[in-house]
Structure 1
Amino acid sequence: MRTRERRLTYREVGATAHELPDGYHHVQRSRVLGTGGALFERAADELRSWTLHERAGVRVSGGRVEVGDRVRLRIRVGPLPVVAHCEIVYVVDEPRRRGFAYGTLTGHPERGEELFCVEWCADDSVVLTITAFSRPALWWSRLGAVPARSVQRRISDRYLAAL
């Protein structure tokens, strides 16, 4: 199935910007990166250029960080390569807050959305936050739902350590 033929796999598009929907596993993790405007700008640039994902061991093919653009993410889970197709569903572009959220497309092992956001707080700290909701979408991801949560935690840890 070509990327353009894929469809979003969930109804709650944009929910990571507000209240996370019931019926999904929720993740909200943050890390203070440091302080200052220069760090904020660098972190925001690295986030929007997929550097965060690449440093975390996720290979990104195609797409920019613009609403409607699509990407293919590839990661190894043990010996197995996992491919996940996503679409950018919204972009955060505020003076002190930047980031984006992508949603899962057909064929993705999970169903849901993930937000990556860098914020330059009033106390001068720069914080990276990952917010997500998901549930298994494919038969094999449903069978491995408990181990999948562990993998999701490890990947989130790698994202948080990557900037």
Structure 2
Amino acid sequence: MISRGHLSYPAYLQLATLKLAKGRTPEELGLRRWKITDHSAVLGHGEDVYRAAAERLHTWQVHAHAKVRARRRGNLVRLHFGPTTSSCLIIREEQTPTRTVMVYGTLPAHVESGEEAFIISLAPDGTVTGRVIAFSRHAWWLAKLLGPVARAMQRWANRRYVAGMRPGNFP
């Protein structure tokens, strides 16, 4: 069984993405040397939109929209993008009537080292917002070599993840 101790980043940073989402700064969290990506967008309005967006996240349609194939077994997820396969461990999942969250951390076989959080929220006025926030460092030699290209791909994927939360967007 894989545990949180197997993550490819320090234990003190676990769930730091959720703290960033609540307004803590990278400096406060010890993330000065990590790259932060944060993308959010309004997905629509109302409980039906919220439920549909949460369903898209739970069924990996969000990832499919970014051309990432996800295979889950328990809390272990293998992500396939192009020629790469990366492993993650889901370390937090929660769903309330107004918020859905999934956070996964990278395992040593991932092209990056870090954590990514997917957050869907329903505001009191009915606005539904999708957000992906991450901190990472390149772990794979090719990602390190092609740093700016790898970082641009990560930003592209995060925008696609959020767009994939929007009901009506299909892979």
Instruction: Tell me the TM-score normalized by structure 1.
Output: 0.87
Partner of residue 7, structure 1: 6
- Of 34-43 and 137-146, the range deviating more from structure 2: 137-146
Deviation at 1:142, TM superposition (A): 1.3
The whole-number CA distance in structure 1 between the counterparts of 2:160 and 2:90 is 21
Q: Which segment drifts farther, 19-28 or 123-132? A: 19-28
Describe the superposition over 1:34-85 as per-residue Cα deviations: whole angstroms up to 9, x where unpaired: 0001110111111112111122211111235xxxx00100012xxxx11110
- Residue in 2 aligned with 1:18? 19
Output the CA distance in 1 between the equivalents of 2:131 and 2:117: 8
Match for residue 120 of structure 2?
Answer: 118
Alignment of 1:1-163 (within 5 A): 4=2, 7-11=6-10, 12-19=13-20, 20=26, 21-63=31-73, 69-76=75-82, 81-163=83-165
Deviation at 1:4, TM superposition (A): 4.5
Partners of 2:164 and 2:7 in 1: CA distance:
27
In 2, the alpha carbon distance for the partners of 1:27 and 1:39 equals: 25
SS of match in other structure, 1:122: coil
What is the identity percentage for the equivalent residue pairs of Structure 1 and Structure 2? 33
| Distance in 2 separating the partners of 1:55 and 1:158 | 6
Give the unaligned 5+ runs of structure 2.
21-25, 166-171
Q: How many residues in Structure 1 have an aligned counterpart in Structure 2?
A: 153
Does the residue aligned with 1:18 lie in a helix, a strand or coil? Answer: helix
**Distance in 2 (alpha carbons) for counterparts of 1:60 and 1:26:** 23
Q: Normalization by structure 2: what TM-score?
A: 0.83
Please tell me whether the aligned partners of residues 8 and 113 of structure 2 are also in contact (alpha carbons under 8 angstroms). Answer: yes
Mapped to 2, the partners of 1:63 and 1:118 lie a distance apart of: 23
Structure 1 regions of 5+ residues with no counterpart?
A: none
More helix by share: 2
- Hey, what does 2:168 align to over in structure 1? none
Cα distance in 2 for partners of 1:102, 1:55 equals 18
**Deviates most, 32-41 or 141-150:** 141-150
Which runs of 4 or more aligned residues in structure 1 lie more than 6 Å from their structure 2 counterparts after TM superposition? none
